[in-house]
């Protein structure tokens, strides 16, 4: 499962869907020899990850056997830790949600209490869907691990939190190791916006290899996909979109600055002015588009989900006006709201485990 070549083959099996793909096609698309493909597919079938999907007519010789991915052969848990709620999903190898749950959460509670809520929710969900052995989660044979997404900033590579906006007490907490020790299975940690962007990229919803996902919920952040890969930056701190200052004498933000996009957006939402919040979000989005020249802007998060049309139109208007003033050529940068709903971050968190299985090295 961990070899690069096996990951390439698994990725093509997943992309082929129920119709399947032949060994010859796998060899042609991966550049591997037919013998190597035969060995890899034989091992995948033995381990239960691949199965025959029938036969396909050949241009010459006998019909070719086609293979398909077995989605139920592997599962991953995705956890979205928001400031006031917890969402947990269990997905199969295709990324389809097979079980889910939601609960209230106080991210400002002590770490031990938060870990307890998360562990209990994960264990109950997996237990109901897959069953637990004597070893707990480690005994759930098809479980690959748990992906956790939450507000940043944080160190993705080490799974250590930094000063989460509004919750400085988490600074330096080793969430990945602490939760992994408690659950007994592999754990990966990333920012909520990065996880969402990964999920959108894997699912092809953006329709582009370079896009920005702007998440407006209890906070505001961005997930960036550039050249088909999630961009985290040299210190995994990219995407702190909400804390760009656009009004020097603006309201104080929880980060300590004044006039941040996040503070202005949330203030407008709190006043019941979603149109104004959308305009402010559009100003920040226009700065991002001008800086990175991205193809698409996707919007999501619970606040956007409440009035997606208002936010899409508001951001579009600002981007279009900026493009006209700049004399930009071609079509304006399209703006869309994500169709994945409020499970997007949790599903993306599960992809932190699944994507590497299929050769996505940026997960």
C-beta of residue 118 within 8 angstroms of C-beta of residue 126 = no
pLDDT of residue 2 exceeding 60: no
6 burial class (0-12, 13-18, 19+ CB within 10 angstroms)? buried
DSSP-assigned letters across all residues of 191-257:
EHHHHHHHHHHHHT-S-SSSEEEEEESSSEEEEEEETTEE---TTS-TT-GGG-BS-TTSPBPTTS-
pLDDT of residue 59 exceeding 90: no
Q: How confident is the model at residue 206 (pLDDT cuts 50, 70, 90)?
A: confident
Q: How confident is the model at residue 1 (pLDDT cuts 50, 70, 90)?
A: very low
| Predicted local distance difference test score (pLDDT) of residue 322 | 87
How far apart, in Å, are the Cα atoms of 135 and each of 74, 99, 131?
18, 21, 11
pLDDT digits (tens, 9 = 90+) for 145-201: 999 999 988 999 999 999 887 888 899 999 999 999 999 999 999 999 999 999 999
Portion of the chain with pLDDT greater than 70, in percent: 97
Of 80-94, 229-243, 253-267, 302-316, where does mean pLDDT reach its minimum?
229-243
Q: How confident is the model at residue 329 (pLDDT cuts 50, 70, 90)?
A: low
pLDDT digits (tens, 9 = 90+) for 66-124: 999 999 999 999 999 999 999 999 999 999 999 999 999 999 999 999 999 999 999 99
pLDDT of residue 57 exceeding 80: no
Of 6-20, 91-105, 157-171, 211-225, where does mean pLDDT reach its minimum?
157-171
Mean pLDDT of the region 293-312: 95
| Predicted local distance difference test score (pLDDT) of residue 341 | 80
330 burial class (0-12, 13-18, 19+ CB within 10 angstroms)? exposed
């Amino acid at each position: 499962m961990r070899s690069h070549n096996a990951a390439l083959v698994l990725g093509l099996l997943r992309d082929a869907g129920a119709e399947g793909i032949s060994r010859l096609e796998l060899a042609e698309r991966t550049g591997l020899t037919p013998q190597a493909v035969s060995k890899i597919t034989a091992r995948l079938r033995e381990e239960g990850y691949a199965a025959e999907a029938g036969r396909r007519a050949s241009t010459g010789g006998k019909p070719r056997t086609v293979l398909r991915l077995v989605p139920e052969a592997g599962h991953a848990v995705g956890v979205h830790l928001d400031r006031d709620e917890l969402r947990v999903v269990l997905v199969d190898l295709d990324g389809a949600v097979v079980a889910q749950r939601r609960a209230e959460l106080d991210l400002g509670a002590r770490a031990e209490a938060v870990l307890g809520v998360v562990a209990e929710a994960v264990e109950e969900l997996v237990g109901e869907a897959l069953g637990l052995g004597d070893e707990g989660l480690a005994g759930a044979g098809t479980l690959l691990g748990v992906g956790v997404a939450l507000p940043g900033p944080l160190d993705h590579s080490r799974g250590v939190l930094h000063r989460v906006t509004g919750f400085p007490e988490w600074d330096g907490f080793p969430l990945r190791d602490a939760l992994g020790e408690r659950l007994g299975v592999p754990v990966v940690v990333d920012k909520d916006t990065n996880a969402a962007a990964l999920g959108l990229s894997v699912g092809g919803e953006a329709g582009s290899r370079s896009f920005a996902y702007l998440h407006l919920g209890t906070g505001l952040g961005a997930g960036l996909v550039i050249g088909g890969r999630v961009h985290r930056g040299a210190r995994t701190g990219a995407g702190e979109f909400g804390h760009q200052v656009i009004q020097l004498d603006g309201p104080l933000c929880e980060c300590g600055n004044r006039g941040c996009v996040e503070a202005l957006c949330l203030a407008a939402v709190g006043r019941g002015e979603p149109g104004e919040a959308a305009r402010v979000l559009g100003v920040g989005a226009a700065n991002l588009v001008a800086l990175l020249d991205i193809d698409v802007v996707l919007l999501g998060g619970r606040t956007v989900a409440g009035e997606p049309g208002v936010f899409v139109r508001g951001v579009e208007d600002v981007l279009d006006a900026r493009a006209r003033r700049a004399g930009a050529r071609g079509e304006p940068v399209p703006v869309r709201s994500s169709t994945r709903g409020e499970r997007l971050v949790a599903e993306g968190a599960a992809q932190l485990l699944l994507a590497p299985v299929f050769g996505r090295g940026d997960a």
